[in-house]
Structure 1
Amino acid sequence: MFMSHDGLCSIGELAESAGVTVKAVRFYSDNGLLPEAARSAGGHRRYGPDALGRLRLLRSLRALGLPVREVRRVLDEEDAADSVLEDAVAGHLSELGSQLTALRWREAGLRLVLECPPGERADRLRLIGAVTAPPSTAPLARFWRAWLPPRMPARATAAFLEAAVPQPPADPEPEQVLAFARLYAMVTRPCTDAEQGRPEAHKASGAHGPDVLYAGLARAYDLAGTQLRRGRDPYAGEELDSFVDAYASVYGSRDTPAFRRVLAGHLATDPRIDRYWELVAEVITPPGAAPEPTPGSAHDWLFAALDAQTAAEAA
């Protein structure tokens, strides 16, 4: 390529050798990514022998979709080029992952509208139109923060939110998009504290700490979840003992038959958010698969076991 007497080449020769357009070479030069070695007497750009390798690297980096600012970092920081390139590629991969997830949610949303009966399309458009793609779980977290006891420690709150707020699937089916949209609508509609419904145990959790209650319930829910996956009917066992212990620690009581009867009465009158947990199960479970346990379904299983036990003892 460098056949001239001064060992330099023109912009056209460089572009042809690298397989890019003259316009691309000019763009890189104007942005300081491809320095010129000199200008001819007529003002034309001239490039040195190292320009071809640099231009080919530029073309490769841009072909990967890296933005100009990241390409500049890779080229400018020669001493740490490998590290900078690794960081740039990793960051771009993360960004592409988010974009792909957004596209999959939009595709599933479009299929949801296309495949539903015409009379339902307006309602479904309204539902999915309120949700970003990919969807944000922040409104769900805000809903539960308002519902939890006011003095809940940050670590206990974070653990509860991890279990209560479903992570949207990266490649959803239309049914999962619809479930998440309904969940979003449920937690963002105007409602009062009474409608959110706090359980009786929140009123008694001040002395012992709500973190004790929810740490104990998390263990009980995990145990019950195992039985739910096995298809076991509710029964009085280790799972129920752990469940009752969580409440006993809050009420400052021992686990006795009398306490279990009182607890069953409290839980029977507690407000319920069953619809939330039904929708969570639809979001996290692919269509046609067995429903994944949720804290809500685990709570119902444990309460059913407690209610059956106290009823049998009363009889």
Structure 2
Amino acid sequence: MSPEHLLSIGELAERAGVTVKTVRFYSDRGLLPEGARSSGGHRRYGPEALERLHLIRSLRTLDLPVPEVGRVLDEEVTLEDVVAERLREVGSRLTALRWQEAALQLLQDCAPDERSERLRLIGSVAVPPSTAPLARFWRRWLPPRLPARLVSAIVEQAVPHLPEGPTPDQVLAFTRLHAFVSAPCPGKGRQGQPAAHGPDGGRPAVLYDGLREAYGLASKQLRADRPPHEGEALDCFVAAYARSRGTRDTPDFRHRLSRLLAADPRIDHYWKLTAELNGPTEPTPGATHDWLCAALDSSTVHLTG
């Protein structure tokens, strides 16, 4: 290229609306190749450098790191991929800020004697928060040797989805939920779990497959605000226990199942806090289980009568 078509570093900076220092910075990092050097050793740039400099500035305005800008310019990654990644990062930061804002509001609005406990709860949770501890809790709590696809489905149903813009009350509910699942489990081994998890519990995989179906049916009844009653949901619930034990759904089995479930350990605190996170419109598995147990108790009373 003839020298008259080349731009000096000052001319390029002036046309781009930046400082000479900025042009030199990008040149030194290989983002802005020089067209040539003058006889005096001064930098010279071709006309395409102006468009490239505009692109560099646009990418940097998006807070893209200099090395990542270089990868885009060298076509090692597409601009679409970089934009998508930046959107994820910005979304994560915004979520973190919303959780921090709600946490600060929670501390500001509480009574002085509550502040110490709430500060401790908030300090134990990462920002943005993660539901990984809740998932680990359920993977430990479920009986061993369940199929992986069933474990994943149960965990997905049992672990609440966190709001991107939480209220202070939702922050408090999640921090308490995090503390609950992080606390040491009472007893040893698998003590404190339902009888279905024990050696006499039959086939847990058959049970949990059936329970997922029964909970889905009961959820529709809860959304419709219907009281516990006999019907398809209860029949599916009882059948899940019966099949897992290799027996039939009979009046005697329903009586025994009602007593068995009444004696099972409960984690009501978990479901209460989950409901506070999810809101009242979406029944938790705990709420559907309670509805089905109440329907079972009602049906056994009816059978006795």
TM-score where L is the length of structure 2: 0.94
Tell me which of 148, 152, 162 is aligned to 1:158: 152
Residue 194 (structure 2) pairs with residue 199 (structure 1): yes
Distance (Å, rounded) in 2 between the aligned partners of 1:97 and 1:5: 48
Aligned to 1:66: 64
Q: Quote the Cα distance in structure 1 between the aligned partners of 2:247 and 2:212.
A: 20
Amino acid of the residue matched to residue 250 of structure 2?
A: T
Bigger drift between 63-72 and 260-269 goes to 63-72
Cross-structure match for 2:53: 55
Superposed, 1:281-300 pairs within 5 Å as 281-285=275-279, 290-300=280-290
Shift in alpha-carbon separation, 1:116–1:196, aligned structure 2, 3 A:
farther
Shift, 1:70, TM fit = 2.4
1:308 aligns with 2:298: yes
Distance 2:228 2:201 in 1: 31
Q: Is the 8 A contact 2:173 2:273 kept in 1?
A: yes
Residue 165 of structure 2 is aligned to residue 143 of structure 1 = no
Match of 2:273 in 1: 279
Identity of aligned residues (%): 63
Once residues 232 and 249 of structure 1 are traced to their aligned partners in structure 2, the CA distance between those partners, rounded to angstroms, is 27
CA contact (8 A) 2:9 2:43 kept: yes
Letter in 1 for 2:31: L
Q: Does 1:123 pair with 2:123?
A: no
1:310 CA drift (Å): 0.6
- For residues 205 and 14 of structure 1, the distance between their equivalents in structure 2, rounded to whole angstroms, comes to 81
Q: Which residue of 2 aligns with 1:9?
A: 7
Structure 1 CA distance for aligned equivalents of residues 66 and 3 of structure 2: 34
Deviation per CA, 1:1-34: give whole Å up to 9, x if none: xxx9532222222122112232221221111000
Gaps of 5+ in 2: none
Which amino acid in the other structure matches residue 294 of structure 1? T
1:233-244 alignment runs, 5 A limit: 233-244=227-238
Tell me the distance in 2 between the aligned counterparts of 1:153 and 1:54. 54
The alpha-carbon deviation at position 51 of structure 1 amounts to: 0.5
The 5 A counterparts of 1:172-187 are 172-187=166-181
Aligned to 2:23: 25
**Residues 177-211 of structure 1: CA deviation (Å, up to 9, x unaligned):** 11000000001112235697211112257753x22
Q: Is the 8 A contact 1:216 1:246 kept in 2?
A: yes
Cα drift, residue 45 of structure 1: 2.0
User: SS of 1:6's equivalent?
Assistant: helix
2 CA distance for matches of 1:5 and 1:211?
78
Counterpart check, 1:211 vs 2:209: no
Give, in angstroms, the shift of residue 314 of structure 1.
Answer: 1.9
- Give unpaired runs (5+ residues) of structure 1: none
Paired residue type of 1:21: T
Structure 1 CA distance, aligned partners of 2:129 and 2:107?
17
Give the distance between the partners of 1:149 and 1:292, measured in 2 at CA: 26
> Are 2:195 and 2:201, in contact at CA under 8 Å, matched by a contact in 1?
no
- Within 1, Cα distance between the matches of 2:226 and 2:14? 71
From 66, 82, 88, the equivalent of 1:88 is 82
Equivalent residue for 1:231?
A: 225
Q: Distance in 2 between matches of 1:305 and 1:21?
A: 76
The one-letter amino acid paired with 1:177 is: V
Q: Normalization by structure 1: what TM-score? A: 0.91
Q: How many residues align?
A: 304
Cα separation, partners in 2 of 1:207 and 1:263, compared to 1, 3 Å: closer
Alignment-mate amino acid for residue 58 of structure 1: I
